[in-house]
Structure 1
């Protein structure tokens, strides 16, 4: 296949538009620094994102390369089908649950990142441990979506994936570094619009190709590789529910979500943004579903791709770009490539900003240098973007193994971090000792459950664990079970520790984290809390001496 020069030019134009939008947003962010601190402008956009921009940036963050490629792949796979597509409805549930239960508690205290309530409830040291799963998740997510873009470019443009990965990473790092959330949000608007238009343009060509049967007929009839609607056997129902719960609840405890919530101009607007994003996320899955159905309904021998089929060649993960390349005209496949590039960049910039925000604000400013200036924190944030972005770019060349690592880290966020966040926001009686116990028990249980994609056999065989093709498959909903065990452990251990120390069954000297014994407040922490309170409307009405008294009693 020869180099697709028109396609290459089109992609370059798209990247130039994205970069220009990001630089313009960086200039807008600079203007907004007059009324807000530099850190808050970079992390939460000065808390003044309007509904339109908030809706588009939230949706674009979730509708990434893994979403549109993965949905098409699952529909295409003979062993799966539409019945096993969780993402559209799962993401919709994520945003609805987030709006109902999590928006107001996070907004009420003017938090800057998702880690703030965790550090407030369980202490800075424990908060640092809890930072590890989302950090790994963001880095592996950044790497995996860049890898998917590289593979797609190599299929459609016949350009080495290495080049596209490096150019994409440099573009994302540059505009995110300069403009923070403003650049990410406004480029997301362009990218999501491009995705919507591009994917829907490609769908009719894929469905009407002469090599494809009518998808309404192949949905329920045995054609080529079986009905693409799929089915859920009774023995897999618990596994299906486990995956759906993971997709719905596991997406909440991510900084990428709360960054948009905290950047909205009000709680009411944040809730509207969350509800509407859920609806739009579900709608954005439709083009990928139709493309996957077209692939399952295609006689590949009638195309230049030939036989064996993508499934037989183990290229199912590339089914969306393969459909664009072999079932659509060249100029349409280029348009589809633009949609994939837009999806990748809209998620990559968000993951990069998420990890660097939490590191600079929650680790560096709150743990390493509590007296760091706003400018210093901002530069640490920018430096961490370069370091984390470079690490993710390097990992992108590992391709499938990186995607598997991201999936495992996402499960750790669900099993370990989600229950911690729930306790920090809704169970104020929990403490550091419960947090530590819940963290290590949840982490251990998840690893003992095994991970087939990384060739980690299960050490703990749950009920219904079966051997399929020499690989153990857990049919028990062990991800949700692990999350619930972690949640219960945090609550029970917290109350047990309180009982033991308050009843003096354990000597108060053993309270190494100073949860129950009174210690003089750290002056630097008092100063930090005062600075925060003085720019928080809910607290500024209180006299300064009352604020001192409040924190000295902690």
Structure 2
């Protein structure tokens, strides 16, 4: 296969347009720096993002390379099918739940990052511990989508994967460095429009290819290999529900999610942007589903790809670029490549900004250097962007291992961060002791359930755990079960510790986290005029002061 010159030129043009848009957004940011907080301008766009840009950047962030590639792959794989495509429904629910419950409490206190309420309630030490799953998840996500882009370009353009990874990472870093969230948001608009047009352009050509059977016929005809519509067996219902809740609730405890909430010009606009973005995710899943159905309905022996099939070669994860390359004309496959590149970059820039924002604001400014100036914080954030971008590009060369680590970090965010976020926003008087206990218990419980992709055998065999091809499969909804146990642990330990200290069952000297002073309510003690014998004022004294 020779180098695809038209595809390479088209990719360079797309990258140039994206870079120019990012630089224009940076120039727009410079004009507003005089009347705004510089770090907030870079991290949350000065809280002035309109609904149009907000819905585009929210949708584009979730419609990443993993989303469009993964949706097509699941439809194509014989053991899964459309019945297991959960991301579109899960994302709609995530946006609706976020709009209904999480927007108002996060905006009411003008937080800058998702980690602010954790540090405010549980202190800097516990906040730093909770920051780790979010940071690791962002870095691995960036690395995973860079790896996907590199593999895609190697299929369509016939260039080295490492070149695609390096060029893409450098482009993202260059346009996000000067403009921050503005650069991310405005390039997301360009990327989502390009992605939408490109993918929908490819669908008719793939459907009408002579090597492809009617997808309606292959969906309902059980005699044609395996119907791509999929099937949900009764014994797999628990796992299906677990994955749906994981995609739904597990998409919430991320900085990229709340960055859009905090950047909107009002709570109402944040909600509306989220609702529209959710349905945008469904709309963009349709061409991916159709491409996966086409792949499952194709006689690959009639194409230049030949036999064995992509599934038999272990290339199911690359089914979208394979369909574009072998079932579409060259100029159409080039457009499809642009869609994939746009999807990857729209998620990569958000992950990079998310990780660097939290480190600069929550770790550097709040812990390491509390007197840091706004200019210093922005400079540190940019340094972290370069460091994380380089680290993610290096990790991308690990390919499948990065995907495995990213999925595991995503599960940790669901099991550990989501219950912590619910407690800190909605359950009063939870404290640092409960937060630490929930974190450690949830982390241990998740690891004991095992992880086949990392070859970690399960220690806890939940109901329905079975050995399939030498690998243990958990059919019980253990991810959600772990999340709920973590939530219960945080609440139970918080209230138990507060009770023990308040009743003097535990000495107050053992309260190393100083939660008693925070949780005890002040008791009104009337101040009496000794001569007149009348109450003239009411002062509030902490109960611990009465004993002294």
Structure 1 partner of 2:505: 505
Structure 2 partner of 1:123: 123
Structure 1 partner of 2:245: 245
Structure 2 partner of 1:402: 402
- Asked if 2 retains the 8 angstrom alpha-carbon contact of 1:223 and 1:297, the reply is no
Structure 2 partner of 1:387: 387
CA distance in 2, matches of 1:222, 1:397: 40
Q: Secondary structure at the match of 1:34?
A: helix
Q: Mark the runs of 5 or more structure 1 residues left unpaired by the alignment.
A: 520-552
Structure 2 partner of 1:272: 272
Q: Report deviation, 1:513.
A: 1.1
Structure 1 partner of 2:526: none
CA distance in 2, matches of 1:379, 1:448: 41
CA distance in 2, matches of 1:198, 1:278: 20
CA distance in 2, matches of 1:350, 1:46: 17
CA distance in 2, matches of 1:176, 1:503: 54
Structure 1 partner of 2:494: 494
Q: Report deviation, 1:222.
A: 3.1
Structure 1 partner of 2:81: 81
Q: Report deviation, 1:224.
A: 4.9
Structure 2 partner of 1:426: 426
- Asked if 2 retains the 8 angstrom alpha-carbon contact of 1:115 and 1:362, the reply is yes
Structure 1 partner of 2:530: none
Counting matched residue pairs gives: 521
Q: Report deviation, 1:150.
A: 0.3
CA distance in 2, matches of 1:102, 1:35: 29
- Asked if 2 retains the 8 angstrom alpha-carbon contact of 1:69 and 1:319, the reply is yes
Structure 2 partner of 1:59: 59
TM alignment of 1:141-540, pairs within 5 A? 141-222=141-222, 224-517=224-517
Question: What are the Cα deviations for residues 109-147 of structure 1, in whole angstroms up to 9, with x where unaligned?
Answer: 111000011111111110000000010100000000000
Moved over 3 A (4+): none
Structure 1 partner of 2:140: 140
TM alignment of 1:105-120, pairs within 5 A? 105-120=105-120
Q: Give the structure with higher Rg (CA).
A: 2
- Asked if 2 retains the 8 angstrom alpha-carbon contact of 1:88 and 1:285, the reply is yes
CA distance in 1, matches of 2:136, 2:221: 43
- Asked if 2 retains the 8 angstrom alpha-carbon contact of 1:511 and 1:517, the reply is no
Q: Report deviation, 1:283.
A: 1.1
CA distance in 1, matches of 2:301, 2:418: 47
Q: Secondary structure at the match of 2:180?
A: helix
TM alignment of 1:19-30, pairs within 5 A? 19-30=19-30
CA distance in 2, matches of 1:453, 1:91: 24
Question: What are the Cα deviations for residues 148-197 of structure 1, in whole angstroms up to 9, with x where unaligned?
Answer: 00000000010111111000000101111111000000000000000000
- Asked if 2 retains the 8 angstrom alpha-carbon contact of 1:415 and 1:442, the reply is yes
Q: Report deviation, 1:428.
A: 2.0
Q: Secondary structure at the match of 1:219?
A: helix
CA distance in 1, matches of 2:68, 2:517: 52
Q: Report deviation, 1:223.
A: 5.4
Comparing 224-233 with 249-258, which one deviates more in the overlay? 224-233
Question: What are the Cα deviations for residues 241-287 of structure 1, in whole angstroms up to 9, with x where unaligned?
Answer: 00000000000000001000100000000010111111111111001
CA distance in 2, matches of 1:437, 1:421: 15
CA distance in 2, matches of 1:103, 1:367: 26
Question: What are the Cα deviations for residues 399-450 of structure 1, in whole angstroms up to 9, with x where unaligned?
Answer: 1110110000000000000000000000121000000000000111111111
Q: Secondary structure at the match of 2:516?
A: coil
CA distance in 1, matches of 2:381, 2:178: 11
Question: What are the Cα deviations for residues 364-405 of structure 1, in whole angstroms up to 9, with x where unaligned?
Answer: 111111111111111110001111111100000001110110
Q: Report deviation, 1:517.
A: 4.1
CA distance in 1, matches of 2:12, 2:109: 43
Question: What are the Cα deviations for residues 6-27 of structure 1, in whole angstroms up to 9, with x where unaligned?
Answer: 1100100000000000000001
- Taking only aligned residues, the RMSD between alpha carbons, in angstroms, comes to 1.2
Q: Mark the runs of 5 or more structure 2 residues left unpaired by the alignment.
A: 520-544
Structure 2 partner of 1:35: 35
User: Cα–Cα, structure 1 residues 463 and 190, in superposed 2: closer, same or farther, change >3 Å?
Assistant: same
Question: What are the Cα deviations for residues 434-478 of structure 1, in whole angstroms up to 9, with x where unaligned?
Answer: 000000001111111111111111111111111111110001100
CA distance in 1, matches of 2:177, 2:412: 28
CA distance in 2, matches of 1:45, 1:95: 20
Q: Secondary structure at the match of 1:472?
A: strand
CA distance in 2, matches of 1:130, 1:225: 47
- Asked if 2 retains the 8 angstrom alpha-carbon contact of 1:224 and 1:299, the reply is no
- Asked if 2 retains the 8 angstrom alpha-carbon contact of 1:361 and 1:377, the reply is yes
CA distance in 1, matches of 2:223, 2:252: 39
CA distance in 1, matches of 2:106, 2:272: 15
Q: Report deviation, 1:225.
A: 2.8
CA distance in 1, matches of 2:20, 2:225: 45
Give the TM-score of the pair, scaled to structure 1: 0.93
CA distance in 2, matches of 1:383, 1:362: 15
CA distance in 1, matches of 2:503, 2:301: 77
CA distance in 2, matches of 1:392, 1:165: 10
CA distance in 2, matches of 1:333, 1:432: 53
